[in-house]
């Protein structure tokens, strides 16, 4: 019992430190630097401690100090309660969804069964969707409570866009669920031990659609109509400042990580290296004894998983800084008139193939 | 559906877009009446950058107007310089030396390139393509390096003088231009790949802000926006000034008059302008760059410091200003946005009696409601950018 | 003069009004765009971030306070007064710069010294009005005021600090030697 508790706490702390402590500050830096390199610029590199700039790595710290000392501004006529809780509603789902994403296999460590997932729910995917859809409340409430016409328009756009793309995203997942026959993400991951069993080979269309819809769900370019800065000033978070503004930001960045993790788990072999199963890993590390082998395998799993996640973060950033923005009606048309039929056809074809086997 | 929509209590949203809104750069205000996202009505409110240019001109001598013209269309100041100088020269009736004409052509075309770069870059940025924006800003930076080498300043050039130009082409200008154009062409190709066939971009600009050719003429469109409608009107071709009639370049035209055409026309014009600069640099003759008429062009430093008559005359021309004969004149050049005209009236004193500018973007801005009414809020963004309203020029 | 309308063969830039099938499919053009940006990313990663120390960086940005841009000789910075060898200004207070300045930034009070030479008892240049047009340099018959290549120190907390007196404007001849030679060249007689 105590061992289970310790295991859970260690995993939660690990995911928390990786997400909040590493990804969310570092992604701000990554976004700046990557966009800078793509655009022939230098990027932020001026914050220094004792003359060392560390290629701009102090900027997240400087930013944190800045936002913490900023005035927390609530506009006149705004709904104070909803204006305050909206950023929390936006941020929380992004953190919570990581609970059901596996970042490694299952091992015996010191006679204790270790499963590298915080909560191995049997409805893992549904849990992700349930919480992801909660995030839309954040933007709607933010837009509505700000008492600003631009925020209001942004909130409307955000709600319509997120609801539409959730439908398509859900339909995409059905293909994955049909192929693997389970909703449990750790099982989906485990079934991809064989390289040719990876989701990308079984569901290529599903991958493209899911990835696109996930970016749309996250409201990043090219789907950032809800916060389109040239049209709606800043969309639903026009009236936010300081820490609350950063919460929307952090929510967005954490969702990038979540999307990367989900795509990795469902389509890119989760924690598996190509052609290397967990058992083979344990065999490689036999020299370290059973416990040492398991620990090393866990480390390899985690590194593999997060390398893939980082690759998908890079991909999302590249997309974000390459493409222009859709128009609002075009986003809707794309979702309902193009992605929805394709998703349905994808389900149909998947079903036919499964039956034919 | 329609019945229930009628019963619903709904009202239009009236919203101020600008004067300080990310899209209304150049400071302009749109008063929008919206039904959802659709624009029902739009009123354009200009004048936020009014500095009294025309009145200011009346208080200085004819030469002193030159720095003011830099601030008209501040993205292509050299064309304004050239336009004003040509107008005054037409009023006076002087003909500048051949080399000066070539230098002026080079200067105006460099300016035009930088203006089109800025325009397309800003347009791309506002529809979200930030990378394309920075590629063209980088290219513009390189072109501005050339302009800085030529004039001594990047934006406030003050380069052209009545009866000449300030200085000759600097050493190594030709080689530097060749290098810069090579890099610019590479960046142009990159932006072309990023935008021209990208459906997301095409969807944003295609069939948005349509202006039929006859109405475009009625509104007073000129320049790339008129050419986008399919009318090949270009002052450089139809009323050639300087040495444009000796240059080999094509006039790009669009088909439909929408924003995509405007974008394509501008992209092509960048290439044509580069061709003109290269040709001019090849053909440029040697010789003087200023007219030798001390009553209109200040004399050389050598004369002033060695000859007492020159010195006395120099004092006279500087303090009294040049004195064009009484009369009025309209002279137009092809600015980056269209026909940039100067209407000058002289009463024979040392100061302009009237200096009226025909800004190319004033009619374009006036036609904004026509172009976006019935469209979406998001359509304002590319339309307003592609007409390239420059506050300094429109409001003066 | 000019080509009659209708005779000109314009260049049609728009190939097709409707989207082609290739353009209709988002994915290929998106991939093409991403190859462009990735190419820039990789080129900058190698050519700029991982560049060898001491080699010239392959990027247009200049790290400003540490590095300075290379200014062309034509560059017009703030106007300064040129000093004679005896520490006095060259200026003879003729007032041409005051007259020509389009922004009326210059105001001179002239006086005569014991030899009967004119000199500016006060030469005020309001840098908050100056538009850096270079007319003062161009009309000056004594090469006494030149546009130096200084561009720093022009941002002040108080507008009154921008009001430059004669003492603040004086520079030795050596420090602006390049500029004097440059203006001699561009306003030389061969250009007329």
Q: Would you state the pLDDT for residue A1?
A: 66
Q: Mean of the per-residue pLDDT values for chain B?
A: 86
| B74 and B29 both lie in a single domain | no
Q: What is the pLDDT of residue A167?
A: 85
Same domain, B38 and B81: no
At B276-303, the pLDDT tens digits run: 999 888 888 888 888 888 778 888 887 8
Of A55-59, A83-87, B218-222, minimum mean pLDDT range = A55-59
Region A89-97: mean pLDDT is 83
Which pLDDT does position C57 carry in this prediction? 63
Which structural domain range is residue B350 located in? 53-394
Q: Distances from the Cα of B325 to the Cαs of B92, B345, B396, in angstroms?
A: 6, 10, 26
Please give the backbone phi and psi of residue B352, each rounded to the nearest 5 degrees, phi first. Answer: -65, 135
Strand, helix or coil for residue B43:
strand
Task: Please tell me if residue C27 touches chain A, with a CB cutoff of 8 Å.
Answer: yes
* Residues B41 and B121 occupy one common structural domain: no
Task: Using alpha carbons only, give the angle B74, B76, B81 rounded to the nearest 5 degrees.
Answer: 90
- Could you report the predicted ipTM of this complex, rounded to two decimals? 0.84
In this prediction, residue B347 carries a pLDDT of 87
In a shared domain, residues B29 and B61: no
pLDDT at A3: 74
Tell me which of C50 and A266 has the higher pLDDT: A266
pLDDT higher than 70, residue C5: no
Instruction: Give the pLDDT of residue B4.
Output: 65
Q: Give tens-digit pLDDT for B327-361.
A: 888 988 888 888 888 998 988 888 888 888 888 88
pLDDT in tens, A282-301: 777 777 777 777 778 788 88
In this predicted structure, the answer to whether residue B380 has a pLDDT above a threshold of 70 is: yes
Q: List all residues 6 or more positions away from A192 whose beta carbon is below 8 Å from its beta carbon.
A: A198, A199, A269, A270, A272
Token pair of B215 as six digits? 């109405």
Residues B177 and B118 both lie in one domain: yes
Q: H or E segment at B294? A: none
Considering only the beta carbons, identify the residue of C30, C37, C44 that sits closest to A321.
Answer: C37
**Shared domain check, B24 and B152:** no
Among candidate residues C17, B2, B194, B258, the one with its CA nearest the CA of residue A39: B194
Confidence category of residue C17, pLDDT binned at 50, 70, 90: low
Structure tokens at A10: 């260690």
Nearest residue to B378 (alpha-carbon basis) of C25, A149, A153, A151: A153
* pLDDT tens profile A206-248: 888 888 888 888 888 788 887 777 777 777 888 888 888 888 8
Question: Which carries the bigger pLDDT value, residue B251 or residue A1?
Answer: B251
Residue B148: which of C37, C72, C139 has the nearest Cβ?
A: C72
Binned at pLDDT 50, 70 and 90, residue C56 comes out as low
Measured N-to-C along each axis, helices A149-180 and A242-267 cross at an angle, to the nearest 10 degrees, of 20
Helix, strand or coil for residue B72? coil
Q: For the ranges B254-268, C14-28, C152-166, which has the lowest average pLDDT? A: C14-28
In the predicted structure, residue B176 carries a pLDDT above the cut 80: yes
In the block, which residue shows the tokens 């799993």?
A: A301
Count of other CB atoms within 10 angstroms of residue B25: 17
- Does A346 score more than 60 pLDDT? yes
3-state secondary structure of B341: strand
Contacts with B, C 70-109, CB within 8 Å: 72-76, 94, 96, 99-100, 102-103
**Quick one: B72 and B96 in the same domain?**
yes
Q: What are B282's two structure tokens?
A: 């090849």
Do C133 and B158 lie within an 8 Å CB cutoff?
Answer: yes
pLDDT at C123: 87
Residue of A nearest to B38 (CA): A329
CATH of the domain at B312: 1.10.645.10
Output b/e per residue, B283-318; b: 16+ Cβ within 10 A.
ebeeebbbbbebebbbbbbbbbeeeeebbebbbebb
C-alpha dist (Å) from residue A51 to A58, A259, C50, C62? 11, 37, 20, 18
Q: How far is B200 from chain C (nearest CA, A)?
A: 7
- How many Cβ pairs within 8 Å bridge chains B and C? 173
- The verdict on a CB contact (< 8 Å) between C2 and B245 is yes
**Bridge partners of residue B164, in order along the sequence:** B161, B290
Residues B152 and B30 in one domain: no
- Dig out the tokens for B116 from the structure: 């089109």
Say yes or no to pLDDT of C102 above 80.
Answer: yes
Q: What average pLDDT score do residues A304-315 get?
A: 86
Task: Annotate C106-171 with DSSP letters as a single string.
Answer: EEEEEEE-TTS-EEEEEEEEETTT-----HHHHH-TTS-EEE-S--SS---SSGGGGEE-HHHHEE
Cβ-Cβ contacts under 8 Å for B8 (sequence gap 6 or more): none
Whether pLDDT at C119 is above 80: yes
More confident residue, A225 or B44: B44
pLDDT beyond 60 at B2: no
- Is the CB of residue A41 less than 8 Å away from at least one CB of chain C? yes
Determine the pLDDT at residue A227.
78
Same domain for B305 and B278? Answer: yes
Residues B96 and B18 in one domain: no
pLDDT of residue C151: 85
Q: Identify which of A38, A55, A323 has the shortest CB distance to residue C41.
A: A38
pLDDT of residue A316: 87
Q: How far is C184 from chain B (nearest CA, A)?
A: 7
The better pLDDT of the pair C5, A183 is held by: A183
Averaged pLDDT, B120-124: 88
All residues of chain C having their beta carbon less than 8 Å from the beta carbon of residue B302 are 184, 187-189
Does residue B138 share a domain with residue B41?
no
Residue C164's beta-bridge partner residues? Answer: C125
pLDDT digits (tens, 9 = 90+) for A120-151: 778 878 888 888 888 888 888 888 888 888 88
Question: Comparing A270-279, B235-244, C48-57, which segment has the lowest mean pLDDT?
Answer: C48-57
Chains in contact with A via at least 3 Cβ–Cβ pairs below 8 Å: B, C
pLDDT band at C53 (very low <50, low <70, confident <90, very high): low
Nearest to B252 by CA among B280, B272, B277: B272
The model carries a pTM of 0.88
Across A125-134, B80-89, C46-55, least confident range:
C46-55
| pLDDT one-digit tens code per residue, B61-77 | 888 888 888 888 888 88
B131 touches chain A (CB under 8 A): yes
CATH architecture of the domain covering C79-191? 2-Layer Sandwich (3.30)
Total H helices, total E strands in chain C = 6, 7
Across the interface, whether the CB atoms of A326 and B15 are under 8 A apart is answered no
B349 & B206 share domain: yes
Please name the residues between 150 and 179 in chain C that touch chain B, using a CB distance below 8 Å. Answer: none
DSSP state of B296: T
Rounded to whole angstroms, how far apart are CA atoms A291 and A111?
9
Query: Between residues C67 and B259, which one has the greater pLDDT?
Result: B259
CA diameter of chain A: 68
Number of domain units in chain B = 2
Most confident of A267-271, B270-274, C39-43, C114-118: B270-274
Confidence of residue C3 (pLDDT cuts 50, 70, 90): low
| Domain limits, CATH 3.30.70.3270, in chain C | 79-191
What pLDDT does residue A188 have?
82
Checking if the pLDDT of B106 tops 70, the result is yes
Among the ranges A13-22, A229-238, C142-151, which has the highest mean pLDDT value? Answer: C142-151
* Residue B47: predicted pLDDT: 84
């Amino acid at each position: 019992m105590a061992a289970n508790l310790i295991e859970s706490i260690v995993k939660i702390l690990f995911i928390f430190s990786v997400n909040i402590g590493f990804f969310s500050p570092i992604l701000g830096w990554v976004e700046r630097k990557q966009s800078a390199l793509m655009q022939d610029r230098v990027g932020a590199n001026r914050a220094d401690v004792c003359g060392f700039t560390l290629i701009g790595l102090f900027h997240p710290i400087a930013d944190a100090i800045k936002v913490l000392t900023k005035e927390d501004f609530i506009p006149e006529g705004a709904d104070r309660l909803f204006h305050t809780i909206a950023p929390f509603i936006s941020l929380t789902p992004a953190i919570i969804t990581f609970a059901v994403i596996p970042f490694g296999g299952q091992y015996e460590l010191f006679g204790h069964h270790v499963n590298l997932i915080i909560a191995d729910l049997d409805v893992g995917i549904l849990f992700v969707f349930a919480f992801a859809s909660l995030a839309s409340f954040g933007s709607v409430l933010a837009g509505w409570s700000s008492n600003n016409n631009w925020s209001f328009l942004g909130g409307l756009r955000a709600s319509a866009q997120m609801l539409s793309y959730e439908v398509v995203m859900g339909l995409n997942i059905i293909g994955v669920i049909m192929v693997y026959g389970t909703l449990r993400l750790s099982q989906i991951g485990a079934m991809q031990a064989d390289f040719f069993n990876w989701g990308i080979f079984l569901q290529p269309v599903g991958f493209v659609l899911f990835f696109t819809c996930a970016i749309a769900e996250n409201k990043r370019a090219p789907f950032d109509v809800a916060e389109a800065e040239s049209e709606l000033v800043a969309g639903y978070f026009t009236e936010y400042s300081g820490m609350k503004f950063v919460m929307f930001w952090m929510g967005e960045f954490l969702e990038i990580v979540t999307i990367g993790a989900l795509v990795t788990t469902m389509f890119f072999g989760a924690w598996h290296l190509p052609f290397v199963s967990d058992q083979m890993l344990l065999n490689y590390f036999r020299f370290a004894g059973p416990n040492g082998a398991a620990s090393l395998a866990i480390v390899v799993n985690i590194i593999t998983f997060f390398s893939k996640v980082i690759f998908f973060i890079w991909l999302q950033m590249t997309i974000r800084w390459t493409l222009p923005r859709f128009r609002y009606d075009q986003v809707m048309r794309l979702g309902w008139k193009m992605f929805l039929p394709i998703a349905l056809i994808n389900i149909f074809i998947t079903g036919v193939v499964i039956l034919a086997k | 559906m329609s019945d229930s929509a009628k019963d619903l209590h709904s009202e239009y949203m009236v919203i101020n877009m600008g004067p300080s809104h990310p899209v209304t750069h150049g400071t302009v205000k749109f008063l929008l009446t919206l039904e959802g996202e659709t624009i029902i009505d739009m009123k354009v409110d200009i004048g936020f950058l009014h500095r009294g240019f025309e009145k200011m001109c009346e208080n200085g001598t004819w030469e002193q107007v030159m720095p003011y013209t830099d601030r008209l269309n501040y993205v292509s100041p050299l064309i304004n310089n050239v336009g004003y100088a040509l107008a005054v020269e037409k009023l006076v009736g002087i003909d500048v030396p051949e080399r000066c004409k070539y230098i002026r052509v080079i200067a105006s075309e460099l300016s035009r390139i930088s203006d089109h770069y800025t325009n397309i870059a800003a347009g791309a940025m506002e529809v979200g393509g930030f990378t394309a924006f920075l590629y063209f800003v980088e290219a513009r930076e390189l072109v501005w390096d050339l302009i800085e080498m030529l004039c001594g300043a990047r934006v406030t050039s003050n380069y052209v003088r009545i009866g000449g130009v300030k200085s000759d082409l600097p050493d190594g200008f030709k080689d530097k231009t060749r290098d810069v154009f090579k890099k610019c062409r590479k960046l142009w190709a990159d932006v072309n790949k990023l935008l021209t066939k990208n459906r997301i971009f095409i969807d944003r600009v295609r069939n948005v802000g349509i202006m039929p050719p006859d109405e475009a003429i009625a509104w007073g469109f000129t320049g790339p926006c008129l050419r986008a409608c399919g009318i090949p009107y270009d002052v450089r071709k139809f009323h050639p000034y300087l040495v444009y009639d000796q240059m080999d370049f094509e006039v790009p035209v669009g088909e439909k008059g929408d924003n995509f055409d405007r974008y394509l026309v501008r992209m092509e014009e960048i290439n044509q302008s580069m061709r003109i600069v290269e040709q001019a640099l090849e053909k440029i003759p040697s010789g003087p760059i200023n007219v030798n008429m001390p009553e209109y062009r200040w004399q050389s430093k050598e004369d002033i410091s060695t000859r007492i008559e020159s010195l006395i005359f120099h004092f006279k021309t500087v303090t009294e200003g040049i004195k064009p004969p009484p009369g009025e004149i309209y002279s137009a050049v092809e600015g980056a946005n269209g026909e940039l005209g100067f209407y000058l009236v002289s009463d024979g004193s040392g100061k302009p009696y009237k200096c009226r500018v025909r800004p190319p973007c004033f009619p374009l801005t006036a036609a904004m409601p026509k172009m976006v009414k019935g469209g979406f809020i998001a359509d304002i963004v590319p339309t307003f950018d592609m007409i390239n309203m420059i506050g300094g020029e429109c409001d003066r | 003069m000019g080509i009659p309308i209708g005779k000109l063969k314009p260049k049609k830039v728009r190939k097709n009004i409707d989207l082609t099938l290739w353009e209709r499919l988002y994915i290929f053009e998106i991939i093409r765009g991403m190859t462009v940006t990735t190419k820039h990313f990789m080129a900058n990663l190698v050519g700029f971030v991982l560049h060898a120390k001491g080699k010239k960086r392959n990027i247009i940005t200049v790290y400003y306070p540490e590095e300075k841009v290379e200014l062309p000789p034509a560059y017009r910075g703030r106007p300064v007064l040129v000093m004679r060898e005896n520490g006095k200004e060259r200026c003879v207070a003729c007032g041409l710069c005051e007259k020509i300045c389009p922004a009326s930034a210059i105001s001179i009070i002239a006086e005569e010294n014991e030899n009967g030479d004119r000199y500016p008892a006060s030469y005020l240049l309001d840098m908050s009005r100056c538009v850096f047009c270079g007319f003062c340099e161009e009309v000056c018959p004594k090469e006494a005021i030149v546009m130096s290549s200084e561009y720093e120190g022009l941002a002040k907390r108080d507008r009154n600090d921008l009001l430059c007196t004669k003492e603040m404007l004086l520079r030795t001849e050596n420090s602006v030697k390049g500029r004097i030679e440059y203006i001699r060249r561009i306003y030389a007689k061969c250009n007329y």
